[in-house]
Amino acid sequence: MREKSVRTDLLLDFYGNLLTPKMRRTCESYYNDDLTLAEIAEAEGISRQGVHDTVKRAEKQLEEYEQKLGLLTLFEKQQAKARKALDLIRSGDTDKASKELEELIEEM
């Protein structure tokens, strides 16, 4: 079985509600509940290939949403700034940390 993508899991968190109910339910079972394709197929009453196709279509759709909206990219940038500010605080450079946090707040 392939390694499940952390990126796709995050995209699902950001854009999952934009998917069809079937796509969302299938992806949540696969990524969040860690069910296998066979387990999902049995629960949904469809073939394993049908589940695979649904997951692949949903992944493509989630990537398209990210390309258009960029919420994950923005989140990752904000997270990096917050980490940098925390590192600066830990090193005792509170002036630079304050500046980083101010920039972060302005971008939000």
pTM of the predicted protein model:
0.82
Phi and psi for 28 in degrees, rounded to 5? -65, -40
Long-range contacts of 18-21 (CB under 8 A, 24+ apart): 18/61, 18/65, 19/58, 19/61, 19/62
Task: Say whether pLDDT at 2 is over 70.
Answer: no
Q: Predicted confidence band at 1 (pLDDT cuts at 50, 70, 90)?
A: very low
Q: Predicted confidence band at 3 (pLDDT cuts at 50, 70, 90)?
A: low
**pLDDT tens sequence across 86-98:** 999 999 999 999 9
CB 34 within 8 A of CB 45: no
Question: What pLDDT, on a 0 to 100 scale, did the predictor assign at position 108?
Answer: 78
CB 38 within 8 A of CB 28: no
**pLDDT tens sequence across 15-65:** 999 999 999 999 999 999 999 999 999 999 999 999 999 999 999 999 999
